[in-house]
A and B are shown apart, each in its own frame.
Chain A
Amino acid sequence: MSGLGLAAMYYEQRSTNNDPRLVVARLLALIAVLLFACAAAAGDAVPTVADPMTNKRAVQLGEKLRCLVCQNQSIEESNAELAVDLRRQIREMIAQGKSDANILDFMVQRYGDFVLYQPPFKRTTLLLWLGPGLLFVTGLVILIYNLRRRRAQRDEQPLSTEQQKQAELLLAAGSDRERR
């Protein structure tokens, strides 16, 4: 706030001169100094309640957890009361020095795997994790099988002599037409 004091001193020293241009110039100077004072005050703002690291971790954890009240929102996004409580719980556990894994375990123990947006890889979720790959491989196998069968068909059956003759006849007719 020392900027404000300086501006006041400056204004008082020069206030004997009443040239209108000087008044404007002084006002502008005052505004500039005051603006600077504001910026300086913003620099030493009051520290936030939670420290930024805790906050960042809490937000990251909250985004990994499903709010069971409004199931398409994470605990971080939801305004449901349960989400508010669980955000508080996460922050408390971080303050107690619990690891991220500890905190996620805590939630899973109480609300089940469903609380995790990324389900764990285990026996009951095998199909969920491997299903898409399995479908892709199955599709690929069917595609390759069909392509091979088609090629085999095309290659295996040469024209009979009669068909050959007729084909030649048709071709000859075609080339006759072209010549004309």
Chain B
Amino acid sequence: MQLLPVRLPAGHPMTRFLVPLAIFIVLVAFLAIGLGLNPREVPSPLINKPAPAFQLPQLHQPDKIFSQQEMKGKVWLLNVWASWCVFCREEHPVLMALAKSNVVPIYGLNYKDPRNDAIAWLKQFGDPYALSIADRDGRVGIDYGVYGVPETFVIDKEGAIRYKQIGPVTPAVLKDKILPLVKELQS
């Protein structure tokens, strides 16, 4: 009976075991990386491109117009904020500390916010901005690809966007990314 010519498919038993295992490990690696990514952080196509032009009224003095042009030759931060934005409150102390350090000027883009609410918010929590501009209908926000307030842009002396922080600026982000970049751009 043992002579019945039953033959298993050729191939070393070890390879037959190892190949599926290798495929499995590769799959697990892909899934682990995929699950670790934050889908909310969409890379901005505006990086290393000129900051979109705008001419907006200032929040506190609506009769005065501010344009990104006026910042030529300076490294600056453009922080998109709103009084209705929960995470803006979270990053607010970080911005206050940064403003106090005088390392880099912060300009606020007050996004889709009623003027009185915005001013009251700044009065209540403090104003870290050199000045804020009011984007009442969100058009400049669209030009800057804003989709999750708060967002912060680092803009260089030539007026190009060099970095975009989506979501709140945390102390870690400030220390590891924004400040080193600002130093590099200022020198």
Contacts and interface: CB of A to CB of B under 8 A. Distances in A.
Interface stretch (B1-9, B69-77, B119-127, B169-177): B1-9
Nearest to A158: B5
Contacts of A69: 147-148
Interface stretch (A10-18, A39-47, A103-111): A103-111
B45 A110 contact: yes
Residue among B7, B39, B45, B141 facing the most chain A CB atoms (10 A cut-off): B45
Contacts of A157: 5, 7
B46 A68 contact: no
B142 interface: yes
Contacts of B45: 108-113
A128 B62 CA distance: 48
Interface of A: 68-69, 71, 81-82, 85-86, 89, 108-114, 146, 149-150, 153-154, 157, 159, 163, 166-167
A89 B138 CA distance: 11
* Majority SS at the chain A contact face: helix
Given A149-B10, A150-B10, 11 more contacts: A68-B148, A71-B40, A82-B146, A82-B147, A110-B142, A110-B143, A110-B144, A111-B45, A111-B145, A111-B147, A146-B9
B112 A81 contact: yes
B43 interface: yes
Contacts of B141: 85
Interface residues of B, number: 24
Contacts of B112: 81
Contacts of B10: 149-150, 153
B186 interface: no
B42 A114 contact: yes
A149 B39 CA distance: 45
17 contacts: A68-B148, A69-B147, A71-B40, A82-B138, A82-B147, A85-B141, A85-B142, A86-B142, A108-B45, A109-B45, A110-B46, A111-B147, A113-B45, A114-B42, A150-B10, A157-B7, A163-B5
Contacts of B142: 85-86, 89, 110
A109 B47 CA distance: 11
Interface string B31-51: 000000001101111100000
B7 A153 contact: yes
Contacts of A89: 142
B148 to A, nearest CB: 7
